[in-house]
A = this chain, B = another copy of it.
Amino acid sequence: MAAITIRDVARVAGVSTATVSRALRGLPNVDEQTRLRVQRVAVELDYVISPSASRLASGRTGSVAVITPYIARWFFSTVLSGVESVLQSAGIDLLLMSVSNGESQLRLPPAPRLRRRVDGAIVIAIPPEDPQLQQILDLHMPTSLIGVSAEGVPSVTIDDVMAARIATRHLVNLGHQRIGIIGGATSAVPYTAEYDRFRGYQEVIQEAGLQVDPVLEAFGHFTIAGGEQAMINLLTQRQRPTAVFAMSDEMAFGAMRALRSHGLQPGRDISIVGIDGHEVSELLDLTTVAQPVHELGRIAAEELLEQITMNGVAQKVRVRQLDTHLVVRSSTAPLSTT
């Protein structure tokens, strides 16, 4: 029952524990014969290193925290799977922590739980003005941000302004003139996706010589229900938009649902375009600006591992923006000139 320790291996292999340690970790200064013998003994004894002991002695934890406001939502779980695949193959433990978001304030702040526990953190889409993010950054450990950016911190995002421009430009090119927008928080702050997407929308509207009209703007939660409610608001205006840019696919789904319940058909009566490239958007024939979500996670994880290994060596902060592309489906169509 008593677990095998490094001393047992050392004794059986006839070497010191120091040699066993180096042999098993592939460090230099071990004779190849010795290394093989040690490895053989370790396997025979079914020896497994104790992570706690190793961590205590070395000061490295070999684990990374992923901090996210949501776990079950499509974007977040997809990012998470990208992160996981990288960490798994690097042999790093992934600690999952969710933080309280706008809706639930129940959870403890994550920062204290990180200290001495992980070598680095990946933070998904926590807005820069959230004190929880600041607390994490104040820890001064290797950190990568996904979906938002912050001064002096490596981050991986899409070009949100560009994505919104692509979506809006698509609607303009189809001849639409009353183009609405459905978005997240009304009071968006810089460095967030909401802010940039709203900016991209406005830019294109103005460039096209169209009117930026608050009546065409509806905000709500970044969810299906939020999108539905926002679309309902737009539909009850005196003058409805002929096309709507939704800041996320899920909001677009809600918008499409609202259309149907009003007897309208997406594409024919009102065009809808989203951002995400959600799997379901294909199902619903939603035109969308697809973003490489899995990649966001993958790249942020690789970036973080680099920070961790380059520890101490100053390097420039890498801010990466991945490309998006328009996927046209039947939810958008030329403005009918009837």
Contacts and interface: CB of A to CB of B under 8 A. Distances in A.
A124 to B, nearest CB: 13
Given A3-B116, A48-B116, A253-B280, A81 B53 contact: no
A56 to B, nearest CB: 4
Interface stretch (A87-95, A158-166, A176-184): A87-95
A257 interface: yes
B96 A94 contact: yes
Given A115-B48, A279-B224, A95 B97 contact: no
Interface string A61-100: 1010010001111101110110011001100011111100
A107 interface: yes
A30 interface: no
Max chain B C-beta neighbours (<10 A), residue from A52, A78, A84, A257: A52
B71 A81 contact: yes
A95 B98 contact: no
A98 B71 contact: no
Nearest to A82: B72
Contacts of A115: 48
A81 B93 contact: no
Contacts of A112: 48
Interface of A: 3, 48-53, 55-56, 61, 63, 66, 70-74, 76-78, 80-81, 84-85, 88-89, 93-98, 106-108, 112, 115-117, 224, 253, 256-257, 279-280, 283-284, 294
3 tightest Cβ-Cβ pairs between the two chains A and B: A77-B77, A52-B55, A71-B81
